[in-house]
Amino acid sequence: MTGNSPSPTNAGDTIRMEPMGKYKQTQNGNVRPQGTESPAGPTKKSLYENNGVATCSQKRALFIATVVFAVLFAVALIIAYTGPQSDCTCAGEKPPNYVDEDWNVTKVFVPRATNGQVFPWNNIRLPSIVKPTRYNITIHPNLTTLEVKGQVSIEFHVDKDTNFVVLHSKNLTITDKLVQDKKGHNLRITKLLEYLPAEQIYLEIKDKFRKRNNYTLSLRYTSKLNREFVGFYISSYISKDGDRRYLATTHFEPTYARAAFPCFDEPQFKAKFKMSIFRDRFHIALFNMPVVTTEEAGFYMGTGLLRDDFQESVEMSTYLVAFIICDYTHMNEQTKKGVSISVYTPPPFISQASFALNTSTQIMDFFEDFFMVPYPLPKQDLIVIPDFATGAMENWGLITYRDTAILYDPIETSTAAHQLVAVVIAHELSHQWFGNLVTMKWWNDLWLNEGFASFFEYLGVDSLFPEWKMMEQFILDKTQPALALDALVSSHPISVQVHDPSEIEAIFDTISYSKGASILHMLGKFLQENLQIGLNDYLNSYKYSNADTKDLWNALSRNTNQSLEVKAIMDTWTQQMGFPLITIRRENNEIVANQERFLLTTDELNSTARLMPKSKYDYKWYVPLSYFLDNDTGTVYNIWMNMTDVRFEIDSEIKWLKANVKQSGFYRVMYEESMWMEIISTLRRNHSVLNAADRASLIDDAFTLCRAGLLNASLALELSLYLINERDYVPWATAIAHFQSWSRRLSEALPYKLFLQYMRKLLTPVTKHVGWDEKGPHLDRLMRTDVLSTAVLCELNETIFTARNMFEAWMTKNQSIPPDLKEVVYSAGIKYGGLSEWQYCWGVYNSSNVPSERKLLLKALGVASDPWLLHRYLLETLDRNIVKPQDVKTVLAVVAANPEGRLLAWRHLKAYWPTMQSLFGNSTFMMGSLISAVTAHLSTPYDYYEVSTYFNGMDVGSAARALQQSLETIKLNINWVTHNGPEIYTWLKKYFGETVGGV
Ligand code: BES
Ligand code: ZN
């Protein structure tokens, strides 16, 4: 490593550890160890002033430190090797050999510590009687050697007498330990054990921690900055001069704080955090809170270090702590209430930060008003992290972002990417209340974080850009994908039991995020303004504390004049998986609405269905059924289905009704065939009788019901014919998503080519409507990109012709391409071009400094038609210096979605599965999404055989559910093609009025 880090020149300067002592709060909020004098000014430095890490060059200090350490070390050795080694069975769930009441001896699993001794705590959860109240962390990362030296003092409270504490630690080498009571007396430590599988350490003392007393545990440790994007890790970027610059950053959610410092790493253990960071002069250090003082901290490896001491945090969970050491620059603004907002980026990117700064400042104001709870910290930093596993992370006051989720360049960035930046900003800012201020008690209620943030991200952006019509887009981006996933047998309830880190990671999924957001959207429709009032009550009741789902429902019930049983209603949506299909049938002058669970599972899959978990609600729901009638589409009726069916009267002349108005409920609707036909003919006659969201919801329901075998493919196709006249974004985007999945599933089946022809036929008028000029409202701009890109993929010559001309002009004459057309032009150039087009784009990808541009190119490169190019492309993803690990999924997903690349992508995944596992580190975090991306489009029995045999018996960690869902999806794909292929073929042949033989 070269560049911005100190070089290890002065071998005489070795790191010197300081004695650990009890830290006491001084009046000005600074901490210093008990028994020392007040600081006597900058010239006279006490040995203890530096909080214990890596400094102090005075001889006297060195001498004392050496003596004290020699003594401490000797004592530690004595304790470690001669101290009492009792196999205490008072800890954990069960003693190693558990004898039940009938004197049966059950051999239970006995955890072994790293030294071979029994680890006396046999529970993945920590004991609840020991509660941390304050952490004092001092850390010195060396960005050259990657070595980290740290010290943490944890003040804790004990509820019951005990002689041990258990806390988390992962990949840390603990070098010193000390326990003191509140008077500063040392307690004799008899054991310190580490149990790797549970990422826990166990510390036992000779005497007892007494109930209702406070103690301090101080640990000194070393570790290494890793490259795995979690815990405390190293990242880098390339400076303007072409040098690689390093930064050290953290990502802790859900269970990685323990990899940066020993801690009680569960969300309910909220505590205050105080931080000191040693850094080089040319770096800055950031923490959740602002810096209070910066001091010279002596020399280390020939370099003068500085120490930043930060203001103490509010009570917060460990997963929200963050600290970063980098050489960034920043820009700053204030909110109305005086909170200081800054955006930090590497210097080359600062010009792309203005939009994020503006947007976040305004959204902070909006949320403070909307939630009616002030933001409690003095500052909010948003920072770009060049290597980042997810999109963004809501660390309190120091939000980290992947580059594409925060940087915006008005000349280069598309409307869709622009919108995404605003959405991600709003998402993380809403977490500052939902998640940070009020946190779920345990990860089983993750949806209280992610569901809320996924709901409020749209509301937040809507408040700023009403013309973006975010709430219209909500159904497209949240409700529809969530309904799609939740129709699988392998789905899970929103509230789900989780225990270990891989189970916890696995629920950061569409169910927690999008189903969570969708049921809140539905709730908002029937609670109206009481939602806002109830949420304010919830935030105030649980601030700086934790809540579970029941607490939320109770807060909402309290604020609805008890007119609605919020808990009873919502339990049916959160405690059982799936959602209802409402079947609408007419009986004379009555409408009968039935409910039953909707599943994509077909007959052949019934054996899986039988294994389906039982639900205590028997898969019945409280459904807020909304509808309007054909004679007055503006009047909405609402009726409750209380885990039952309903009947209601309608006039005899009514021919159809549309239920689930604007798809705001989390359910699907099936009409009897005659009513479908009426709706279809209305759409074809004059689709504007229905709102755009209702049209989208009809398309989504019809295509999905066809996928489930409940509706004939011909009916879905008949409905789709109205699209010839459709000019709105949300219905088109819904249809495009379904068309694309039909086309992928059909790609090896008879009707494939005819189906592409049909897509071209429907798309042609709308491609003319959107045109090539960058103009019109926001949704039209989004539609332009979607429609034209789809036209390119389904081989619409007119579009391809124009797009290829633009590509040519760009490649040969450097003529610029408007941002919303880039995707269209790049994909046409690559798909229908050859090696030189591909190489040109690859060159631009490698040299561009605009993250959104790089992301577009990465996607476009995967639509190539030449298998050799695709194969080479896949191989490039194995070199982390060429394609960042965070982007590998994007590449595999586009190649797998490309009919030419599908099998190549699958073969690549198999061939390099172990390599990729090591690329992504021990955390199998990204592996689930890789499996889904690569296998989602497979649709032949042989594919199923391949995927199931390959993964059979393999431990895929947190990817397990994603794998199950992928296998179920492949089976569904196979069934669907078998059952619908012939009918689609017949319908299309009839439609085109031609006889197409064989192909
Ligand atoms: N809290 C998450 C980040 C996260 C995700 C941590 C998965 C651990 C596991 C953050 O708030 C988040 O949801 N980020 C999203 C972006 C968001 C706009 C949907 C992400 O990273 O994808
Ligand atoms: Zn989130």
Give the pLDDT score at 41: 31
Give the pLDDT score at 606: 54
Q: How many Cβ atoms from other residues are within 10 Å of residue 114's Cβ?
A: 11
What is the best residue among 229, 319, 393, 394 to mutate for testing ligand 1's pocket, by most ligand atoms within 8 Å of CB? 393
At residue 813, φ and ψ (nearest 5 deg) are -115, 10
Confidence class for position 42, pLDDT limits 50, 70, 90: very low
Predicted confidence (pLDDT) at residue 859 exceeds the cutoff of 70: yes
Whether ligand 1 lies within 6 angstroms of the CB of 506 is answered as no
Which atom of ligand 1 is least distant from the CA of 454?
19
Give the pLDDT score at 90: 43
- For 265-302, write each residue's pLDDT tens digit: 999 999 999 999 999 999 999 999 999 999 999 887 77
Whether ligand 1 lies within 6 angstroms of the CB of 427 is answered as yes
- For 44-56, write each residue's pLDDT tens digit: 333 223 444 444 4
Give the pLDDT score at 16: 37
Confidence class for position 923, pLDDT limits 50, 70, 90: low
Distance 430 CA to ligand 2 centre (A): 9
**Smallest Cα–Cα separation from 988: which of 677, 794, 717?**
717
Give the pLDDT score at 676: 98
Give the pLDDT score at 339: 98
Spatial distance between the Cα atoms of 591 and 363, rounded to a whole number of angstroms: 45
Residues 106-131: what's their mean pLDDT? 92
Which atom of ligand 1 is least distant from the CA of 427?
18
Predicted confidence (pLDDT) at residue 543 exceeds the cutoff of 80: yes
- For 447-478, write each residue's pLDDT tens digit: 999 999 999 999 999 999 999 999 999 999 99
Q: Tell how strand 284-287 and strand 323-326 pair up.
A: antiparallel
Residues 313/314/318/323 CA torsion (nearest 10 deg): -30
Q: Which helix (H) or strand (E) holds 550?
A: helix 549-558
Whether ligand 1 lies within 6 angstroms of the CB of 399 is answered as no
Nearest CA owner, ligand 1 atom 13: 450
Give the pLDDT score at 161: 98
Give the pLDDT score at 885: 86
Give the pLDDT score at 987: 97
**Smallest Cα–Cα separation from 543: which of 302, 668, 371?**
371
DSSP string covering 563-598, please?
-S-HHHHHHHHHSS-S-EEEEEEEETTEEEEEEEE-
Give the pLDDT score at 274: 98
Spatial distance between the Cα atoms of 275 and 53, rounded to a whole number of angstroms: 12
Give the pLDDT score at 926: 76
Q: Which residues sit opposite 594 in a β-bridge?
A: 583
Determine the residue type at 196.
L
Nearest CA owner, ligand 1 atom 6: 253
Spatial distance between the Cα atoms of 555 and 540, rounded to a whole number of angstroms: 10
- For 514-526, write each residue's pLDDT tens digit: 999 999 999 999 9
Predicted confidence (pLDDT) at residue 822 exceeds the cutoff of 60: yes
Which atom of ligand 1 is least distant from the CA of 435?
1
Spatial distance between the Cα atoms of 61 and 48, rounded to a whole number of angstroms: 9
Residues 177-190: what's their mean pLDDT? 97
Determine the residue type at 718.
E
pLDDT, greater one: 57 or 733: 733
Quick one: DSSP state of residue 253?
T
Pick the range with the lowest mean pLDDT from 87-101, 423-437, 610-624.
Answer: 87-101
Give the pLDDT score at 172: 98
Give the pLDDT score at 961: 82
Cβ contacts of residue 474 below 8 Å, gap of 6+?
458, 517, 521
Confidence class for position 12, pLDDT limits 50, 70, 90: very low
- For 293-351, write each residue's pLDDT tens digit: 999 998 877 778 999 999 999 999 999 999 999 999 999 999 999 999 999 999 999 99
Spatial distance between the Cα atoms of 538 and 556, rounded to a whole number of angstroms: 8
Whether ligand 1 lies within 6 angstroms of the CB of 406 is answered as no
Q: Which of 228, 266, 412, 428 is catalytic?
A: 428
- 819-832 vs 835-847: helix axis angle to the nearest 10? 140
Predicted confidence (pLDDT) at residue 437 exceeds the cutoff of 90: yes
Q: Which residues sit opposite 165 in a β-bridge?
A: 203
Pick the range with the lowest mean pLDDT from 102-111, 241-250, 416-425, 548-557.
Answer: 102-111
Whether ligand 1 lies within 6 angstroms of the CB of 327 is answered as no
Residues 573-580: what's their mean pLDDT? 97
Give the pLDDT score at 561: 75
Q: Tell how strand 173-181 and strand 303-310 pair up.
A: unpaired
Spatial distance between the Cα atoms of 660 and 621, rounded to a whole number of angstroms: 15
Kindly report the average pLDDT of the chain as a whole number. Answer: 89
Confidence class for position 150, pLDDT limits 50, 70, 90: very high
Q: Which ligand is nearest to the CA of 426?
A: 1
Q: Which helix (H) or strand (E) holds 624?
A: strand 622-629
Predicted confidence (pLDDT) at residue 588 exceeds the cutoff of 50: yes
Give the pLDDT score at 768: 98
Secondary structure (3-state) at 734: helix
Q: Tell how strand 189-195 and strand 200-209 pair up.
A: antiparallel
Predicted confidence (pLDDT) at residue 4 exceeds the cutoff of 80: no
Looking up tokens 């694309």 gives 740
Q: Which residues sit opposite 649 in a β-bridge?
A: 590
Whether ligand 1 lies within 6 angstroms of the CB of 391 is answered as yes
Nearest CA owner, ligand 1 atom 5: 390
Q: List Cβ<8 Å contacts ≥24 apart for 418-425.
A: 418/355, 419/461, 419/468, 419/778, 419/782, 421/355, 421/356, 421/359, 422/355, 422/359, 422/461, 422/464, 422/465, 423/457, 423/458, 423/461, 424/391, 424/392, 424/457, 425/356, 425/359, 425/360, 425/363, 425/382
Whether ligand 1 lies within 6 angstroms of the CB of 253 is answered as yes
Q: What percent of the chain has pLDDT over 90?
A: 80
Distance of CA 251 to the CA centre of its chain: 12
**Smallest Cα–Cα separation from 479: which of 679, 709, 668?**
668
Give the pLDDT score at 880: 86
Nearest CA owner, ligand 1 atom 11: 393
Predicted confidence (pLDDT) at residue 220 exceeds the cutoff of 50: yes
Whether ligand 1 lies within 6 angstroms of the CB of 393 is answered as yes
Q: Which residues sit opposite 640 in a β-bridge?
A: 624
Pick the range with the lowest mean pLDDT from 606-610, 726-730, 965-969.
Answer: 606-610
Distance 114 CA to ligand 2 centre (A): 36
Nearest CA owner, ligand 1 atom 22: 391
Predicted confidence (pLDDT) at residue 83 exceeds the cutoff of 90: no
Active-site residue flag, 428: yes
Determine the residue type at 442.
W
Cβ contacts of residue 907 below 8 Å, gap of 6+?
none
Determine the residue type at 449.
N
Determine the residue type at 397.
G
Distance 648 CA to ligand 1 centre (A): 44
Query: Largest Cα–Cα distance of the chain, in whole Å?
Result: 99
**Smallest Cα–Cα separation from 523: which of 483, 572, 490?**
572
Nearest CA owner, ligand 1 atom 1: 393
Predicted confidence (pLDDT) at residue 107 exceeds the cutoff of 90: no
Confidence class for position 917, pLDDT limits 50, 70, 90: confident
Distance 729 CA to ligand 1 centre (A): 27
Distance 229 CA to ligand 1 centre (A): 13
Spatial distance between the Cα atoms of 234 and 325, rounded to a whole number of angstroms: 10
Residues 882-905: what's their mean pLDDT? 93
Spatial distance between the Cα atoms of 97 and 109, rounded to a whole number of angstroms: 8
Q: Which ligand is nearest to the CA of 406?
A: 1
pLDDT, greater one: 522 or 3: 522
Nearest CA owner, ligand 1 atom 3: 393
Give the pLDDT score at 849: 87
Predicted confidence (pLDDT) at residue 225 exceeds the cutoff of 90: yes
Q: What percent of the chain has pLDDT over 70?
A: 87
Give the pLDDT score at 915: 86
- Under 8 Å between Cβ of 655 and 678: yes
Predicted confidence (pLDDT) at residue 591 exceeds the cutoff of 80: yes
Residues 857-872: what's their mean pLDDT? 97
User: For residue 386, is the peptide bond before it cis, meaning its omega torsion is within 30 degrees of 0?
Assistant: no
The two three-digit tokens of residue 26, written as one number: 């001084």
What is the best residue among 319, 321, 390 to mutate for testing ligand 1's pocket, by most ligand atoms within 8 Å of CB? 390
At residue 917, φ and ψ (nearest 5 deg) are -60, -40
- Under 8 Å between Cβ of 169 and 200: yes
Q: Would you give the end-to-end CA distance of the chain in angstroms?
A: 58
Q: Tell how strand 545-547 and strand 438-440 pair up.
A: parallel
Spatial distance between the Cα atoms of 403 and 386, rounded to a whole number of angstroms: 6
Give the pLDDT score at 927: 81
Confidence class for position 564, pLDDT limits 50, 70, 90: confident
Quick one: DSSP state of residue 38?
P
Pick the range with the lowest mean pLDDT from 131-140, 788-797, 958-967.
Answer: 958-967
Looking up tokens 């006659």 gives 685
